[in-house]
């Protein structure tokens, strides 16, 4: 999940003042970039300093940006997210029992310190993962893993708690550490992996430098020799640095600033903002399905995508999942924008003038505050009263996870990082989910059953059932699916990924 | 004198202790720290487990007692983010903040004093009116906005200075200037009024009557006395920059100091790190103030503890 703090506000404020300066600068830009655009080095601005470079201990996007280039995973994922392929594993894993997957490993690979990659590396990695502290933080990614067993030097079994159909997907996330990592000095700050880049320097508070691994086993081989990750929290500072030629790639670009960057690429993410409506039995106005449906009909999603996100978003097809995610239901469509129908439903439900309590936070997700304002305005327009409370993120989360203080509508945004419906549906759709606001036992049955269903078609069907029922019952107001924007040097050639991963070995400079 | 110094030090310790209470209370009472450390997807059981592991499930007084005893032993706690002692993280970032803050305030004094003196010597002149306008501008523009404007002009348009980060002296110029300009506003006004005040004093008239050149009267005799309030205010500016402005300026310029660290720690909800940052800054501010109080007493024994 991307965090847009002061960046969004500041960039908008400054945008008007800046436009003159920036247009004048575009001429200067051509000269400044040419000094940077060599295959020698690249400077990438990321939103903050990694907490650690241990690839498993914390769920931290800044850490991932760096460690993805130092470590490899058993399986890889194609840039659009649709398919897994063997990476450190030589083949796709084979299920040897209901809860065990067997991996054949690629021979002849070494970590950058010379330690061979083999079954012991995988076993040591899983052991590290199972340390109590690690397992809690990584629960949503790797929480189903129970252990690992070496079969022979190049064969290893990974065991799960019960059947886990999305296990292969998890293996595109688990970065493999050397078997002797515990004896390496200061591993969390000087990591050693099999990846295309080797750790070189960490200047606290300022940057991390990696250098190309000359013996990288995989493809593509890195063409850029040195990578510097700069920690720049402010979005407008990132943009200014890009335009001035200090950075070659920036990660915190908002739609308003897209045309100011020398070059912009955008990729649909799996991020879906939404309102969770409180559908549990009770006296709240949203307990009535007609009100919830009306709240969906009221919103002009197309206008949100084109006006608020300037076209860098598409309408959510009524299911918080992107089309590239397993379980996406093609038959489910968004609620159309129909104010007359919405007003009629509100009237039928006798809800005119009743108050909907809305809880949200500000500065956490791209345009969170603006979305809350636009949507609540649409609700007012159909005859509801709306009481909005914006909380600090910590208080917001406390309310989110506390079923007793559940508001009528809570705004939240999340992404499907494992490309499987399980993550989102378990958390938001199933009544037992931490952020779920319904009491629909049928949803729970389908989602629980899918969790252990190993037949792909049957599993997809169970998700489709759940998605259709939730859409009909309007347990959410679905909004849009937005794109991730990357600002970059004109001479940089790179295909960004829908998961937002930054693999520097897939980048090159031209000219 | 001894009693005076001890009184000030005790006073300082009490203030720091109060800060510790406030920091501790706000970090525990505003929402659940565990809620934001774990991903949303974490279950209630996992949340409870982590809460237990970090000791957040124990009675608040017990937690506070342990916090204070640990502090007394020099143990400031371990960062949730980085899994290292918080105090070493803060101390790592402190030199960069000192560098920025001292450079900023030194720059402010270098600009403000000549400007204030010229304005005082020729009240109502063009320079005087300009200095007043400039001061007001410096005071009114938020440093966050100013920083971005400076980046756009010097780094983007002219391309003469780096936009962010820490490196050679060229990296220091823009953040130091951003920190300096609001201070320039206040310091110029003080330098001006204090100089006008001195120029009206009898000793200045006497010096003039004795035929001492005007530049000596202004630049040596009057200036020395006029500088006292300027220096007092500079100390205050220094503290203000250290305890507040550094957060915005360092964040805008990605300057790796304590302010930038504070921004990250708050954003990532690293409670223990936030606690230590606030405490360290509070200790710095309190004890520099105590030091100044004691120095005043040395300079002017008429000053009483009050």
- Does a structural domain hold residue A394? yes
Residue B235 and residue B239: Cα distance in Å, rounded? 6
Which region among A83-87, A323-327, A439-443, B262-266 has the lowest average model confidence (pLDDT)? B262-266
Tell me the per-residue pLDDT of A350-365, one tens digit each, with 9 for 90 and over.
999 999 999 999 888 8
Q: Which of B290, B140, B296, B138 is nearest to B229 (CA)?
A: B296
> Residue A9 — pLDDT band, cuts 50, 70, 90?
very low
> Residue B109 — pLDDT band, cuts 50, 70, 90?
very high
Residue B296 and residue B8: Cα distance in Å, rounded? 12
Tell me the per-residue pLDDT of B178-196, one tens digit each, with 9 for 90 and over.
999 888 988 998 999 898 8
CB-CB under 8 Å, A414 with B40? yes
Regarding whether A252 and A112 lie in a shared domain, the answer is no
Tell me the per-residue pLDDT of B134-189, one tens digit each, with 9 for 90 and over.
888 888 888 888 888 998 899 888 888 888 888 888 999 999 999 998 889 889 98
Regarding whether A250 and A326 lie in a shared domain, the answer is no
Regarding whether B184 and B39 lie in a shared domain, the answer is no
- Does a structural domain hold residue A224? yes
Residue B47 and residue B36: Cα distance in Å, rounded? 10
Tell me the backbone φ, ψ of residue A415, rounded to 5 degrees: -120, 160
Regarding whether A469 and A332 lie in a shared domain, the answer is yes
Asked if the model's pLDDT at residue A88 lies above 80, the reply is yes
Regarding whether A274 and A260 lie in a shared domain, the answer is no
What domain range includes position B182?
Answer: 97-256
Tell me the per-residue pLDDT of A26-65, one tens digit each, with 9 for 90 and over.
333 333 333 444 478 999 999 889 988 999 888 788 999 9
Regarding whether B176 and B241 lie in a shared domain, the answer is yes
- Does a structural domain hold residue B128? yes
Regarding whether B119 and B61 lie in a shared domain, the answer is no
Regarding whether B35 and B161 lie in a shared domain, the answer is no
- The CA distance from A431 to the nearest CA of chain B, in Å, is 13
Regarding whether A179 and A152 lie in a shared domain, the answer is yes
Asked if residue A107 has a cis previous peptide bond (ω within 30° of 0), the answer is: no
Residue A362 and residue A364: Cα distance in Å, rounded? 6
Total number of domains in chain B: 2
Tell me which of A150, A183, A216 is where a domain ends.
A183
b/e sequence A455-474, b meaning 16+ C-beta within 10 Å: eeeebbbbbbbbbebbbebb
Tell me the per-residue pLDDT of B231-268, one tens digit each, with 9 for 90 and over.
888 888 888 888 888 888 999 998 999 999 998 888 87
- The CA distance from A425 to the nearest CA of chain B, in Å, is 11
Look over chain B and give the mean of its residue pLDDT values, rounded to a whole number: 85
Environment class of A64 (CB within 10 Å of its CB; exposed 0-12, middle 13-18, buried 19+): buried
CB-CB under 8 Å, B257 with A205? yes
- Does a structural domain hold residue A374? yes
Mean pLDDT of A220-243: 92
Top residue of A142, A206, A261, A272 to mutate, by most chain B CBs within 10 Å, is: A206
Mean pLDDT of B22-47: 75
- Does a structural domain hold residue B282? no
- Does a structural domain hold residue B82? no
Regarding whether A393 and A326 lie in a shared domain, the answer is yes
Tell me the per-residue pLDDT of A162-174, one tens digit each, with 9 for 90 and over.
889 899 999 999 9
Mean pLDDT of A458-463: 96
Regarding whether B127 and B15 lie in a shared domain, the answer is no
Mean pLDDT of B103-121: 91
> Residue B56 — pLDDT band, cuts 50, 70, 90?
confident
> Residue A262 — pLDDT band, cuts 50, 70, 90?
very high
Regarding whether B130 and B43 lie in a shared domain, the answer is no
Tell me the per-residue pLDDT of B79-88, one tens digit each, with 9 for 90 and over.
887 778 999 9
- Does a structural domain hold residue A322? yes
Regarding whether A390 and A446 lie in a shared domain, the answer is yes
Regarding whether A177 and A148 lie in a shared domain, the answer is yes
Total number of domains in chain A: 3
Helices within B73-168 (DSSP H only): 86-121, 126-140, 143-150
Look over chain A and give the mean of its residue pLDDT values, rounded to a whole number: 89
- Does a structural domain hold residue B295? no
pTM for this one?
0.84
- Does a structural domain hold residue B263? no
Whether residue A96 contacts residue A149, with contact meaning beta carbons closer than 8 Å, is answered with no
Tell me the backbone φ, ψ of residue A486, rounded to 5 degrees: -125, 130
Regarding whether A429 and A504 lie in a shared domain, the answer is no
Q: Would you state the pLDDT for residue B8?
A: 84
- Does a structural domain hold residue A17? no
Regarding whether B124 and B8 lie in a shared domain, the answer is no
> Residue A276 — pLDDT band, cuts 50, 70, 90?
very high
- Does a structural domain hold residue B21? yes
Regarding whether B133 and B51 lie in a shared domain, the answer is no
- The CA distance from B204 to the nearest CA of chain A, in Å, is 48
- Considering only CB atoms, B41 lies closest to which of A24, A58, A139, namely A139
Regarding whether B125 and B208 lie in a shared domain, the answer is yes
Tell me which of A140, A160, A183 is where a domain ends.
A183
Mean pLDDT of A386-398: 88
Instruction: Tell whether A492 is within 8 A of chain B (Cβ).
Output: no
Tell me which of B72, B87, B105 is where a domain ends.
B72
- The CA distance from B100 to the nearest CA of chain A, in Å, is 14
Asked if the model's pLDDT at residue A17 lies above 80, the reply is no
Residue A41 and residue A207: Cα distance in Å, rounded? 14
Instruction: Tell whether A30 is within 8 A of chain B (Cβ).
Output: no
Q: Which positions 148-187 of B are in contact with A (Cβ < 8 Å)?
A: 148-149, 151-153, 155-157, 159, 162-166
> Residue A136 — pLDDT band, cuts 50, 70, 90?
low
Evaluated on CA atoms B71, B73, B74, B78, the torsion sign reads: negative
Question: Both tokens of residue B259?
Answer: 């302010």
Tokens 């093609």, located at residue: A330
Regarding whether B106 and B35 lie in a shared domain, the answer is no
CB-CB under 8 Å, A52 with B252? no
Tell me which of B256, B272, B290 is where a domain ends.
B256
Greater model confidence, A176 or B25 = A176
Q: What is Dmax (Cα atoms) for chain A? A: 72
| CATH at residue A346 | 3.10.105.10
Asked if the model's pLDDT at residue A20 lies above 50, the reply is no
Regarding whether A324 and A379 lie in a shared domain, the answer is yes
| CATH at residue B130 | 1.10.3720.10
Regarding whether B136 and B16 lie in a shared domain, the answer is no
Which region among A73-82, A268-277, A291-300, B204-213 has the lowest average model confidence (pLDDT)? B204-213
Question: Both tokens of residue B166?
Answer: 């820490």
- Does a structural domain hold residue A60? no
- Does a structural domain hold residue A294? yes
CB-CB under 8 Å, B149 with A17? yes
In chain B, what is the straight-line distance between the N-terminal and C-terminal CA atoms, in Å? 14
- Does a structural domain hold residue B25? yes
Tell me which of B223, B239, B256 is where a domain ends.
B256
- Does a structural domain hold residue B83? no
Residue B254 and residue A232: Cα distance in Å, rounded? 5
Q: Would you state the pLDDT for residue A175?
A: 95
Residue A482 and residue A497: Cα distance in Å, rounded? 14
Greater model confidence, B255 or A401 = B255
Q: Would you state the pLDDT for residue B1?
A: 64
Regarding whether A299 and A353 lie in a shared domain, the answer is yes
> Residue A1 — pLDDT band, cuts 50, 70, 90?
very low
Share of chain A above pLDDT 90, in %: 70
Q: A469 CB contacts (<8 Å, ≥6 apart)?
A: A440, A442, A443
Regarding whether B150 and B111 lie in a shared domain, the answer is yes
Concatenating the DSSP letter of every residue in A32-70 gives: HHHHH-STTEEEEEESS--S-S-TTT---HHHHHHHTTT
Residue B121 and residue B105: Cα distance in Å, rounded? 24
Residue A50 and residue A47: Cα distance in Å, rounded? 9
Residue A378 and residue A368: Cα distance in Å, rounded? 16
Q: Would you state the pLDDT for residue B31?
A: 64
- Name the E strands within chain B: none
Regarding whether A307 and A446 lie in a shared domain, the answer is yes
What domain range includes position A335?
Answer: 269-482
- Does a structural domain hold residue A190? no
**What ipTM, to 2 d.p.?**
0.79
- Considering only CB atoms, B264 lies closest to which of A49, A59, A245, namely A49
Residue B10 and residue A409: Cα distance in Å, rounded? 51
């Amino acid at each position: 999940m991307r965090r847009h703090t002061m960046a969004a506000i500041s960039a908008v404020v400054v945008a008007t003042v800046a436009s003159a300066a920036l247009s004048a600068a575009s001429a200067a830009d051509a000269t400044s970039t040419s000094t940077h655009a060599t295959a020698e080095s690249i400077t990438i601005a990321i939103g903050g300093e990694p907490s650690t470079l241990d690839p498993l201990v914390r769920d931290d996007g800044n850490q991932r940006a760096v460690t993805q280039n130092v470590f490899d995973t058993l399986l890889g994922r194609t840039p659009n997210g649709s398919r897994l392929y063997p990476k450190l594993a030589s083949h796709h894993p084979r299920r040897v029992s209901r809860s065990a997957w067997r991996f054949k490993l690629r021979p002849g690979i070494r970590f950058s310190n010379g330690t061979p990659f083999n079954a012991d590396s995988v076993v040591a990695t899983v052991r590290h993962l199972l340390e109590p502290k690690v397992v809690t933080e990584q629960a949503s990614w790797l929480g189903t893993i129970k252990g690992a067993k070496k079969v022979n030097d190049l064969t290893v079994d990974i065991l799960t708690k019960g059947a886990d159909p999305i296990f292969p997907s998890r293996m595109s996330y688990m970065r493999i550490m050397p078997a002797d990592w515990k004896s390496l000095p200061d591993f969390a700050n000087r990591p050693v992996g099999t990846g295309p880049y080797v750790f070189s320097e960490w200047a606290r508070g300022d940057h991390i430098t990696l250098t190309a691994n000359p013996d990288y086993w995989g493809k593509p081989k890195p063409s850029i020799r040195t990578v510097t990750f700069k920690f720049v929290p402010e979005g407008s500072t990132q943009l200014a640095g890009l335009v001035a030629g200090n950075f070659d790639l920036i990660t915190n670009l908002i739609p308003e600033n897209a045309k100011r960057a020398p070059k912009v690429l955008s990729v649909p993410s799996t991020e879906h903002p939404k309102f969770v409506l409180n559908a549990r039995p009770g006296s709240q106005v949203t307990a009535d399905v007609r009100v919830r449906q009306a709240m969906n009909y009221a919103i002009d999603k197309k206008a949100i995508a084109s006006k608020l996100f300037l076209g860098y978003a598409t309408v959510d097809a009524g299911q918080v999942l992107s089309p590239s995610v397993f379980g996406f239901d093609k038959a489910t469509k968004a609620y159309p924008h129909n104010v007359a129908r919405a007003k009629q439903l509100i009237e039928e439900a006798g809800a005119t003038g009743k108050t909907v309590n809305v809880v949200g936070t500000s500065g956490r997700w791209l345009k969170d505050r603006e979305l809350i304002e636009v949507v609540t305005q649409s609700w007012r327009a159909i005859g509801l009263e709306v009481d909005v409370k914006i909380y600090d993120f910590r208080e917001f989360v406390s309310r989110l996870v506390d079923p007793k203080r559940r508001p009528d509508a809570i705004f939240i945004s999340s992404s499907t990082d494992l490309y499987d419906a399980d993550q989102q549906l378990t958390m938001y759709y199933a009544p037992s989910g931490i952020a779920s606001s319904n009491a629909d036992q049928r949803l729970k049955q389908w989602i629980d059953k899918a969790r252990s269903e190993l037949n792909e078609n049957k599993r997809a069907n169970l998700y489709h059932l759940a998605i259709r029922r939730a859409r009909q019952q309007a347990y959410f107001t679905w909004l849009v699916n937005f794109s991730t924007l990357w600002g970059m040097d004109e001479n940089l050639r790179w295909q960004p990924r829908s998961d937002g991963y930054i693999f520097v070995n897939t980048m090159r400079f031209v000219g | 004198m001894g009693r005076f110094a001890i009184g000030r030090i005790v006073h300082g310790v009490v203030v720091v202790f109060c800060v510790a209470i406030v920091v501790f209370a706000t970090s525990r009472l505003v929402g659940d720290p565990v809620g934001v450390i774990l991903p949303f997807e974490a279950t209630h059981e996992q949340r409870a487990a982590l809460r237990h592991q970090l000791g957040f499930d124990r009675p608040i007084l017990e937690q506070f007692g342990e916090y204070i005893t640990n502090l007394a032993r020099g143990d400031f706690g371990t960062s949730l983010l980085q899994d290292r002692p918080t105090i070493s993280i803060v101390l790592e970032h402190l030199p960069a903040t000192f560098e920025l803050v001292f450079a900023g305030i030194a720059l402010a004094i270098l600009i403000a004093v000549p400007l204030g003196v010229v304005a005082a010597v020729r009240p109502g002149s063009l320079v005087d009116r300009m200095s007043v306008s400039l001061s007001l501008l410096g005071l009114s523009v938020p440093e966050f906005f100013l920083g971005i404007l400076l980046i756009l002009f010097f780094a983007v348009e002219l391309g003469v200075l780096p936009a962010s980060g820490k490196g050679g002296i060229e990296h220091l110029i823009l953040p130091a200037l951003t920190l300096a300009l609001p201070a320039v506003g206040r310091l110029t006004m003080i330098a001006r009024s204090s100089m006008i005040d001195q120029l009206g004093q009898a000793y200045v008239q006497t010096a003039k009557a004795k035929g001492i050149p005007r530049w000596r009267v202004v630049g040596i005799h009057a200036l020395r006395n006029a500088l006292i309030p300027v220096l007092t205010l500079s100390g205050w500016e220094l503290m203000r920059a250290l305890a507040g402005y550094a957060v915005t300026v360092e964040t805008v310029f990605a300057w790796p100091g304590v302010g930038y660290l504070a921004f990250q720690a708050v954003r990532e909800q690293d409670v223990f790190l936030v606690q230590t940052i606030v405490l360290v800054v509070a200790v710095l501010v309190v004890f520099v103030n105590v030091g100044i109080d004691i120095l005043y007493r040395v300079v002017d024994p008429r000053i009483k503890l009050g």
